[in-house]
Amino acid sequence: MNDLETVTCKIASAREILNSAIDRLQEQQYDRAETLLYAVDEFLQYYLEEFDAKFTDAWSETVSQLKQEEYDAYFSCDRDDTSSGCKSAWNDFWGEKQQYTEEELNAMCDKAELDDKLEETRKANATSKVSKDSAEKM
């Protein structure tokens, strides 16, 4: 990031040269204004290229790294991991998902309960049928 700040200062210096060129124009010193404008053009071409390179580096060092850490947290944590990083990642993940109303949650719980009772009844009927068939064969 310090490299980026250094380049930004250089661009600000180019702005000062441009201001000097404008002052020379107002003073009708056209030869000096022209020389300063050419200097600003050269400075800015070089400094803007340098700024682009430094900005790309700074972006990679900060934002890309943060995004990678966020990605790693989402995909390396399971629901039983109680570490603060994973808890935060899971909370963020579920916070983005649809939240159910109390009524919907109750309906889902009631359905699960009915499904369990139905399964128990089927097992009981299957067991009693097996017992009945065994008794008839004897």
pLDDT digits (tens, 9 = 90+) for 2-55: 676 777 777 788 889 999 999 999 999 999 999 999 999 888 888 888 888 888
* Cβ neighbours of 33 (radius 10 Å): 18
CA trace torsion 43, 49, 51, 52 (10° rounding): 160
Q: How many CB atoms lie within 10 A of CB 25?
A: 15
Whether residue 75 has pLDDT greater than 80 = no
Q: Please, how many CA atoms are within 13 Å of residue 71, restricted to the half-sphere of its CB? A: 6
Q: Is the pLDDT of residue 69 over 60?
A: yes
**Where are the chain's structural domains?**
1-81+91-99, 101-138
Tokens of 29: 């010193």
Q: What is the DSSP code (8-state) at residue 80?
A: T
Query: Among all chains, which residue has been given the structure tokens 């399964």?
Result: 119
Residue type, 42: E
8-state DSSP, 28: T
pTM across the whole model: 0.38
% of the chain beyond a pLDDT of 70: 64
